[in-house]
Every structure is written in structure tokens, then in C-alpha cells.
Amino acid sequence: MLIQCNECGSKNTVITEDREFIRCLECGNTEG
């Protein structure tokens, strides 16, 4: 699932199925 990163605005943020790990592929932000 992709959501918009609140750090860089990219929609490359990946949420795993258990939704416990969030990481932006663009800037590496892990805070969602």
C-alpha cells in the first residue's frame, strides 16, 4: 500500500500488511 510521505510529499511510502513498518522509498523517512 502506498501513502503520501509527510516528509517529502512522495507517494512512495510503503506500509507492510501488519502496518507496523512504514518507510518512504524517496527520502527514507520512517515516521510515516
Sheet holding 22-24, edge to edge: 2-3, 13-15, 22-24
Record the pTM. 0.52
Question: pLDDT-derived band of residue 28, with 50, 70 and 90 as boundaries?
Answer: confident
Percent of the chain scoring above 90 in pLDDT: 3
Q: Is the dihedral of CA 25, 14, 29, 18 positive or negative?
A: negative
CA distance 26 to 17: 20
Q: Is 23 within 8 Å of 29 (Cβ atoms)?
A: yes
Q: What is the DSSP letter of 11?
A: S
The mean predicted confidence, pLDDT, of the chain is: 81
Residue 12 one-letter amino acid: N
pLDDT score at 3: 82
Q: Is 1 within 8 Å of 14 (Cβ atoms)?
A: yes
